[in-house]
Structure formats: structure tokens, C-alpha cells
Structure 1
Amino acid sequence: MTAKLQAATTVPVGVVAAMGGVVRRDLQASFRQPQDLLNPLLFFMMVVTLFPLGVSPEESFLRQSGSGILWVAALLSTLLSLDHLFRHDFDNGTLEQLVLQPQPLYLLVLAKTLAHWLVTGLPLVLLAPVLAVMLHLEGNSIAILCLTLLIGTPVLSFIGSVGAALTLGLRSGGVLLSLLIIPLYIPVLIFGTGTVAAAAGGASVGAYLALMGAFLVLSVTLAPFASAAALRISLSNS
């Protein structure tokens, strides 16, 4: 009885340790290649800062469209970094070792996607308030914007991981990845900007946040399984 209890408690600990190891390894690899870490942030800042110069610097216009500008910039910045999610591991053979691990592949993919969000999505959330002030958004709108980005950017990473796994090993994978993923990003973009618009208009945002939370739960639950299956297909065809 004691041996069975120890075995039952050892397996989850091994899985958690493996997932933690994947997250640490990916974070260390990202900091060893600062260009992959800084490019999405620089792109995010350039899109937001150049938009008023190219369209209109009027305060009323920027206050009305600021949340949409920030959300579109965050979406494109996440899309820019997705090609590197599995690419480096695929090139150096680490991805094949992950597939052969005794731990479930979908949990290791979950850990890799979480690490991707920590180095791409989370910095965007932290940088958003500064850029929102530049776009003349008000305090309540800035808070709701950051909350929607905090919920929505992980959804972008998890949905994008499926496309990154499907296009792995293809020569024009970046273009195909954009064509596959952008239509799936549209609902998140609509509800993300709609939440901020509702808050600015004084309406209740509970329903919007509930739907975005549902997107997050569904993406965390389903996307790792789809990404793991797509990785097996890509590796078998390579």
C-alpha cells in the first residue's frame, strides 16, 4: 500500500519537474539570444509610436482608437515571435528528445508555450501602460486594457503554438503561419478592444472578461494537445 502511494505521488512530481526544467531552459535560451527577446518589444513600441504620426495626432482620435492600436500591435508582435517557438529546438535536435521523453508531450508543449509568453507576452503587458498614457487613454481604460492583455496574450501564444507546430520545417513557414493564425486571433482582438471600449463608455465589462477568460481556459486546455499532435506530424515528415 505504501509503495503504491509513493508511486502515485512520484509521477506528478516528475512531470512538474520536467515542465519546470523546460521553462527554465527556454528562459535561459531566450536571455542568451537577446535579439529574439527584444525584437517583439521594439516592434510593439514602433507600431504604437508611429501610428499617431502616420494617421492623426489628435487627442480625441487617439483616446478612441488607442486600445485598438495597442491590441493590434501586441497581436503582430506575438505573431512575429512565434516562428522561434519550436524552430531552435527543431534545428538542434532537442525537439526530438522532448518527443521521446516519458512525460506527456502536451505538458512539455504547455511549458514551452508558457515560457514563450513570459518572454514575449508579459513584457508587452508591462509596457502597455506607458504607451497607453502616450495615446491619452484614461486611468480606468488603462487598467482594463492591461487586464485584457494579461488574459488575452496567453491565448495568442497558445493558439500560435498550434500554427508554429504545423508549419515547422517548411521553407515559407512564416507566411503560412500568419495565414493560419490571424483568422483565429480575430475573436480575441474583437473582445479585447470591445472590453476597453465598454469600460470607457461606462458599461459593465463582466461579460467581456468572462468570454476572454473562457478563451484562455479553452486555449490552455486544447492547444497543447493540438500542438503536440502537430509536432509529431512535422517530425515524421522531416
Structure 2
Amino acid sequence: MSYGTALSACRALFVRDFSLVWRQRGDALNPMLFAIMVVVLFPFALGPEPNALARIASGTILVALLLAGLLSLDALFRSDFEDGSLEQLVLSPHPLPLLLACKIAVHWLTTALPLLLAAPLLGELLYLPRSELPVLLAALALSTPLLSLIGAVCVALTVGMRRSGMLLALLVLPLYVPVLIFAAGACNAAGQGLPVLAPLLWLGAGLALALVLAPLACAAALRISLS
């Protein structure tokens, strides 16, 4: 019996997951709407003073996008686990880490990428200095896929549990903090006119390491959860 190539399996998985996201596109917009609501509410709490908002703009956007990403994280494997397709994925003859990397990529493209594209608008709402915007976008481009990869491993560990939302948050947040620190450090350095390359390189190194190790860890965690 022929199972096709790994490339065809990845292509079919991309088509399937994008189709599911399109059918539930209202749910897919929730993270972006949440991030916009958080950013819009900050001026009401702190006042409309541009200088005060500009000082916290980059940190506020980073935290808003981080929390928005948590909203959709639990759904990464949940629907596949409930309909049994996750077990079929694990039993597939194709490399499981590669298939999981495809699912993580779809999750990033449908949740984090729209937030990344909305970052300039959110920056305008908080009077983000124009000099900090390129650094913020670079930090988000490096940190958001890293957060998706880290979060996928934690989701794989808890996918077999009911009401795992609180446990997932407890697992994920301590791992997200270093990423947030480096991303915010790059933005703060840009605001003070200091070199920004070092924190961005640390984020890039973390992303390169996660691209290799996270799918492998995610596959091992799924096998443990489903055994």
C-alpha cells in the first residue's frame, strides 16, 4: 500500500488545517480582537498623555500579543484530539515531527501573523515612536514563532487532560517570560538609542534552536499523552 510522500502529506495537512480555520474564521479573529481591546483600554486607564503612552507602547503591545496568543493555544491540538485525527497523525508512516511542524506553522500563520501585521496600527494608538517600530516588528517576527513552538510542546503535554487551561497557562507563562524580556529589551534599547542587535540575536538563536528541538519534543509529548 502506498502512503504517498512526506511532502504530499504536509501539503494535505496544510490544506486541511487552513480549511478548518476558514470554517471557524470567527474564532480565529478572537486573538486579534482581544489584543486590540487591550491596547485600546490602556489610554483610558493611564490617560491620553502621548509621552506617557509612548514610554509603555512597545511593552504593552508585546504583552497584549502574548496574552492574545494564549487564547488560541489550547485549540492547537484539541479538535484533532476530540475527533480522533490526532491519533491517526501519530500512527502515520510519515515523520511525526515534520507533520507537527506543519500544524504549528499553520497556527502561527493564522493567529500570530495577523497580530504582527496589526502591530503598526496598535503602535499608532499608543504613540509608539517611529524609530522603535522596525525594532518592534523584528522582535515580534522572531518571538511569535518561538512562542508558538514553545506553546505547542506544552499543549502536547496537556492535550489528553480535561479543563487543562489553567495547567497550560502555568506551564507556558514561565517559558514565555525570557522571550518577552529579550523582545522588550530590544525595544527599550531602541527607545534609548542603544544597540539592539544583542537581544535580537538571542531571540534568533532561541528560534533556531526551537525550530529543531520543539517538533521533536512535541512528538514525544504527544506519544506520552496518547499512550
TM-score by length of 1: 0.91
**Hey, what does 1:147 align to over in structure 2?**
138
What's the offset of the Cα at 1:140? 1.9
State whether structure 2 residue 210 is matched by structure 1 residue 213. no
**Hey, what does 2:100 align to over in structure 1?**
109
**Hey, what does 1:198 align to over in structure 2?**
189
What's the offset of the Cα at 1:64? 0.9
Moved more, 122-131 or 135-144: 135-144
SS in 2 for 1:229: helix
**Hey, what does 1:187 align to over in structure 2?**
178
Q: Between Structure 1 and Structure 2, how many residues are aligned?
A: 225
SS in 2 for 1:136: coil
In 1, distance between residues paired with 2:27 and 2:155? Answer: 16
In 1, distance between residues paired with 2:183 and 2:108? Answer: 17
What's the offset of the Cα at 1:20? 2.4
In 1, distance between residues paired with 2:186 and 2:15? Answer: 34
Aligned identity (percent) is 50
Aligned counterpart in structure 2 of residue 166 of structure 1, from 148, 157, 166: 157
2:45 maps to amino acid: G
In 2, distance between residues paired with 1:57 and 1:184? Answer: 33
Aligned counterpart in structure 2 of residue 133 of structure 1, from 120, 124, 127: 124
**Hey, what does 1:45 align to over in structure 2?**
36
**Hey, what does 1:6 align to over in structure 2?**
none
5+ long unaligned stretches in structure 1: 1-10
CA deviation map 1:42-78 (0-9, x unaligned):
1111111112212333211111111110000111111
**Hey, what does 1:57 align to over in structure 2?**
48
1:80 maps to amino acid: L
**Hey, what does 1:68 align to over in structure 2?**
59
CA deviation map 1:181-219 (0-9, x unaligned):
000000110111111111111111111111110111111
Rg larger in structure:
1
State whether structure 2 residue 15 is matched by structure 1 residue 18. no
TM-score by length of 2: 0.95
5+ long unaligned stretches in structure 2: none
Moved more, 54-63 or 41-50: 54-63
CA deviation map 1:103-127 (0-9, x unaligned):
1111111110000000001000000
Moved more, 54-63 or 202-211: 54-63
**Hey, what does 2:221 align to over in structure 1?**
230
Taking only aligned residues, the RMSD between alpha carbons, in angstroms, comes to 1.4
